[in-house]
Structures are given as C-alpha cells and as structure tokens.
Amino acid sequence: MPMVNTMAMNKIKLCLFIIIAVAVLSITSSADENVGQWQFLFNGKNLDGWVQRNGTATYRVEDGAIVGRTGEGSANAFLCTEREFGDFELEFEVIVDHRLNSGVQIRSRSVADFKNFRVHGPQVEIASDHTAGFIYGEALDTGWLSTESSIEEAATIFVHDAWNHYRVIASGNNIKTWINGSPVDKLADNVSNMRTGFIGLQVHHIKQGTGPYEVRWRNLKIRELTSNNANQ
C-alpha cells in the first residue's frame, strides 16, 4: 500500500510540474508575441494611441491617412505615439506639399525639465530636396546628426507630389534610412544619446502670411528588434 501511494504522489508531482511549465511558457510567449512582429501604429480610422505635443497645427484622419495641417503662427507640432520604442524597424508612406518641411521623430521625448516639454530627439527628414531621409537633431542644439558632407553630396530621391516610402532601422546607436528602396543614410549616433522614446509626426512651423500646407502619412508600421532579427 505505501508503494502505491508513493507512485501516485510521483504522478501527481509530475502532472503539477507539467502544468506549471506549460503556464510559464504560455506567459513568456504572450509577453514576447509582439517582438519581431509587424504592428500597425495607425489603425486607418482614428488617432487612438496618439497624442499631440507642442504647436497648434491640426491632425485629422482622411481616406486612411493621418493629415497634418499647418497653423499660422504655430511652433513645430508633433503627433506622437503613446508607446515608446528602442530598437526597431519602421516603415511608412508620406506625401507633403513641396513648400513644407516635415519629419518623423524617433526615440524622442517631451519632459518638463527640457525646454518646458519641447519635443526633442532624432528626426528623419521629410523634404522635397536632397536632405530627405537624413537625420536632424530636433531641439537638441546639434543641427544635423548626419554628416553635412554626406547631405551635400546626396542625390534627391524624394519624389515631389507623390507618395514616398520610408524605411528606418534603429539598433543600438546605429540608424539607417531608405527612401523608395534606395539607401540614404547610415548613421552612428554618438551625439543625441537617445536610445528609446516615442515616434512623432511633425508639422513644421511656417512664416506668417503663408500656408496652410498639409502633409499626409499612411501605412505606418513598426517591428521591435531583438538580437535575432536586428540584421534581417
């Protein structure tokens, strides 16, 4: 009889061990399920998951795109993700009035002790000239993070009055950009020291008596990078 009880207890212990192991694996899998998977930042219907910071430019949803419209006298305005990201691959499409300069913030922040909540961080340039796709230090007092010599020598890849496809990879201190499939910049960012933060859609300020101008973004998606997929 004692032998039977011992065998029964061992079976019960084994079953409990299997149940606990399965539960732990399930929790781990659930926590990591989005890592490495593409996620849309914009649902195409409304601005859920986004918050506006700085400026009085306006943002709306129209025909499956986020539309930013300048406001006369406004400072630079930013529509920012509520979530923050560190290492990632980001893709989006953008079309902008050729008279307007814009950009997409990456790894950026807005805090009280930095210029009274001024949005700051690396910005991927959106412009109808050869600066498109290079990295600017928004409000960092650094000017371009990309080397100015590489900007001056760059060809204009950005297409006027058309949708342009951007791809951005941020991994460690490295930032790489492409426009319409063509590589633009490969930056080792040792200046901003910003490795995590929100994504932000900029509507640039304009001169008094000009505008209004618009910029549109669509198909914004991101995947977080790990050591396993950072080089894919």
* Pair 150, 134: CB distance under 8 Å: yes
For residue 17, give the amino acid letter.
Answer: F
Distances (CA, A) of 2 to 6, 8, 143: 6, 10, 80
Query: How far apart (Å, rounded) are the C-alpha atoms in residues 179 and 215?
Result: 16
Query: How far apart (Å, rounded) are the C-alpha atoms in residues 125 and 210?
Result: 21
What's the pLDDT score for residue 41? 98
Distances (CA, A) of 160 to 13, 85, 88, 213, 230: 68, 30, 28, 14, 32
* Burial per residue of 103-113, b for 16 or more beta-carbon CB atoms within 10 angstroms, e otherwise: bbbbbbbbeee
What's the pLDDT score for residue 17? 53
What's the pLDDT score for residue 15? 45
Burial of 57 (0-12, 13-18, 19+ CB in 10 A): buried
Query: H or E element: which one contains 15?
Result: helix 2-32
**Residues 155-181: tens digit of each pLDDT:** 999 999 999 999 999 999 999 999 999
**Residues 67-103: tens digit of each pLDDT:** 999 999 999 999 999 999 999 999 999 999 999 999 9
What's the pLDDT score for residue 31? 43
What's the pLDDT score for residue 8? 59
Beta bridge partners of 85: 197
Query: How far apart (Å, rounded) are the C-alpha atoms in residues 136 and 165?
Result: 19
Which residues are within 8 A (CB) of 1 and not within 5 positions of it... i.e. 6 or more apart? none
What's the pLDDT score for residue 40? 98
pTM for the structure as a whole: 0.84
What's the pLDDT score for residue 25? 46
Question: pLDDT under 50 in the chain at which residues?
Answer: 15-16, 22-31
Beta bridge partners of 125: 103
